[in-house]
Amino acid sequence: MTRIWLVCLGMALSPPVLADTPVVLVQSTTSTQNSGLYAHLLPIASDALGLDIRVVAVGTGQALRNAERCDGDMLIVHARTAEEEFVAAGFGVARYNLMYNDFVLIGPANDPAEVATTTSIEEALVRIAMTGAPFASRGDDSGTHQKELGLWDGIADVAAASGGWYRETGSGMGATLNIAVGMGAYSLTDRATWLSFENQGSHVILSEGDAALFNQYGVIPVDPTHCPNVNADGAAAFTQWLLTDGQDVIAGFTRDGEQLFFPNAD
């Protein structure tokens, strides 16, 4: 009996992977994982680079904070201002444009606020605020949340409306979408997450295509002078790959024939 336990213990405490494959840990936004992009992209990158690339998918805000604590070698996120602050503070080596897609406003098909007929996201949000139709917000300092707060700026005081028609879930994108579908609320999400979301219910895209809904993803290697423990070479190699060979791989990722991310490295 004791021997079995010891064996289990040894098994559990032994290093989980072969030590000779260097690990690159990516702190990432969730949309890239939930859409299935990484399942498509990582095997190709790992083969090409000889790296064991691991992804921890959290909101952009949490990803940035985790990386600031040196718990990651690089970042793939989508909140440009916060990303530039991260680099300026000396936590990241540099920020590169990686790819883009766009945000969309989704809501129930019966569209109580009648936003489907609007021509801009600004107009759509004004109608939601005026009618007081429920709106589900991430409320978690993620890239999507930051984007959404920027859009509300000058339209409605969402902080004051919080708890009324404006509902902060404090959760990830998927959880927020499940809630929005469940309560018949509008919500802002990125197109990739929405297209790969399987519990859409009767919700549909009601506002899209506005230039303000542009969603830029960036990649940042964590600065080894701030975090001496990071795998700087691995992060640099994977970043370089994403900005070159990886661009075609990103473009080649589709769901139901539709391309979800558009590479735009400089």
Partner 1 sequence: MPTLTDSFLTAVGLVLSADADLIEIVGLSLRVSLTAVVLAALIGLPLGAALAVFRFRGRSALVVLVNALMGLPPVVVGLVVYLAFSASGPFGVFGLLYTPTAMIIAQTVLVFPIIAALTRATLSDLLQEYDETLRILGANRVDVIATLLWDGRFTLATALLAGLGRALAEVGAVMLVGGNIDHVTRVMTTAIALETSRGALPLALGLGLVLLLLTLVLNAVVLGLRARLEEHAHG
Residues that bind partner 1 (CB under 8 A): 5, 8-9, 11-13, 15-17, 25, 30, 33-34, 38-39, 54-57, 66, 69-71, 172-175, 177-178, 196-201, 227, 229
Instruction: Tell me the pairing of strands 135-137 and 186-190.
Output: parallel
Between residues 174 and 184, which has the closer beta carbon with respect to partner 1? 174
Nearest approach, Cβ of residue 140 and partner 1 (Å) = 12
Nearest approach, Cβ of residue 147 and partner 1 (Å) = 18
> CA torsion, points 93, 95, 96, 100, in degrees to nearest 10?
150
Between residues 195 and 219, which has the closer beta carbon with respect to partner 1? 195
Between residues 35 and 239, which has the closer beta carbon with respect to partner 1? 35
Between residues 38 and 186, which has the closer beta carbon with respect to partner 1? 38
Placement of tokens 């994403």 in the chain: 242
Nearest approach, Cβ of residue 231 and partner 1 (Å) = 11
Between residues 198 and 266, which has the closer beta carbon with respect to partner 1? 198
Total number of residues shown for the chain: 266
Nearest approach, Cβ of residue 209 and partner 1 (Å) = 23
Neighbour-count burial of 8, counting CB atoms closer than 10 A to its CB (0-12 exposed, 13-18 middle, 19+ buried): exposed
Placement of tokens 């032994």 in the chain: 14
Between residues 17 and 160, which has the closer beta carbon with respect to partner 1? 17
CA distances (Å), 108 to each of 11, 24, 34, 51, in order? 50, 41, 22, 44
Question: Is 265 in contact with 243 (CB distance < 8 Å)?
Answer: yes
Label each residue of 127-175 as H, E or C: HHHHHCCCEEECCCCCHHHHHHHHHHCCCCCHHHHECCCEEECCCCHHH
β-partners of residue 184 are none
Nearest approach, Cβ of residue 99 and partner 1 (Å) = 20
Nearest approach, Cβ of residue 33 and partner 1 (Å) = 8
Q: Which residues of 23-62 are buried (b: 16+ CB within 10 A; e: fewer)?
A: ebbbbbbbbbbbbebbebbbeebbeebebbbebebbbbbb
Between residues 5 and 163, which has the closer beta carbon with respect to partner 1? 5
Nearest approach, Cβ of residue 79 and partner 1 (Å) = 19
